[in-house]
Amino acid sequence: MSGTMTATDAVGFMVAIMIFSLVIMALSIGNAVFWGLAAYDDAKAKNNNDALMWGLLVGFLGWIPGIIYLCLRNKGINKMIYCPNCQFIHRIVEPNCPNCGIQNQFAMPYLTPMNAEYARKAKRNLIIGIVLCALCVIAVIALVIYFVFFAVQIAEYSGSYSYSYYW
Ligand SMILES: [Zn+2]
């Protein structure tokens, strides 16, 4: 860098910071939306009646409700039932009794094409959320690097300003 800091440089710096901020903001919002959608779709896939609540909580509040959701998400499908035929205790989502093999009618609402579709969407939204999260981190790192380079440039400029008396 030559030792001249012009007004154009300062304007360029401010514009760059503004663009960085907008990109980071957009990525953060997109990130929140897709994590919220992923939680909603995952809850729907598991016939959770609070799917909307979880989607909103994760979308607006982020990782804390996200972790709570992860701990609770399989509660519904892990519910234990008695086989009406042999009294064997098994998970409600088993399509057949693991003991006697009789068809488990209670599993039917969990195994519809809708459940599979929601599970597919949850996976897709989760991947998009992870990608946006990574891009957001990269944008923040780029902003920091840009900031440091600009600060170094100013420092060099101030340095050359004082040296200029010597010639
Ligand atoms: Zn049975």
Residue 1, domain member (yes or no): no
Which residues does residue 80 pair with via DSSP β-bridges, in sequence order?
91
Distance from Cα 112 to the centre of ligand 1, integer Å: 22
Question: Residue 150 falls within a domain, yes or no?
Answer: yes
**50: in domain:** yes
**What value does the mean pLDDT take over residues 107-134?**
97
Which domain does 39 fall in, by range? 7-166
Please state, for a pLDDT cut of 70, what percent of the chain lies above it: 92
Is residue 148 in a domain?
Answer: yes
Q: From the CA of 75, how far away is ligand 1's center (Å)?
A: 22
pLDDT surpassing 50 at residue 60: yes
Q: State residue 137's pLDDT score.
A: 96
Q: pLDDT-based confidence at 153, cuts 50/70/90? A: confident
Distance from residue 89's CA to the centre of ligand 1 (Å):
8
- How large a percentage of the chain has pLDDT more than 90? 80
Residue 98 lies in a domain: yes
CA of 111 to the centre of ligand 1 (A): 19
pLDDT range class, residue 5, cuts 50, 70, 90: low
Instruction: Report the pLDDT value the prediction gives residue 47, as an integer from 0 to 100.
Output: 95
Q: How far is the CA of 92 from the centre of ligand 1 (A)?
A: 12
C-alpha span between 13 and 18 (Å, rounded): 9
Residue carrying structure tokens 């016939």: 47
Residue of 153 and 146 predicted with greater confidence: 146
Query: Amino acid letter at 105?
Result: Q
For ligand 1, a single-atom ion, the residues with CB < 5 A are 83, 85-86, 88, 97, 99-100
Q: Is residue 81 part of a domain?
A: yes
Task: For residue 2, tell me if it sits in a domain.
Answer: no
| CA 48 / ligand 1 centre spacing (Å) | 26
Distance from residue 81's CA to the centre of ligand 1 (Å): 10
Total domain count for the chain? 1
Residue-averaged pLDDT of the chain = 91
Asked if residue 164 has pLDDT above 90, the reply is no
The predicted pLDDT at position 156 comes to 80
Q: 84 falls in which pLDDT band (50, 70, 90)? A: very high
Q: Is residue 151 part of a domain?
A: yes
**Can you tell me the distance from the alpha carbon of 104 to that of 124, in angstroms, rounded to the nearest whole number?**
30
Q: For residues 40-45, give the mean pLDDT.
A: 98
Give mean pLDDT, residues 102-107. Answer: 95
Rounded Cα distance, 57 and 51, in Å: 10
The pTM of the full predicted model, rounded to 2 decimals, is: 0.82
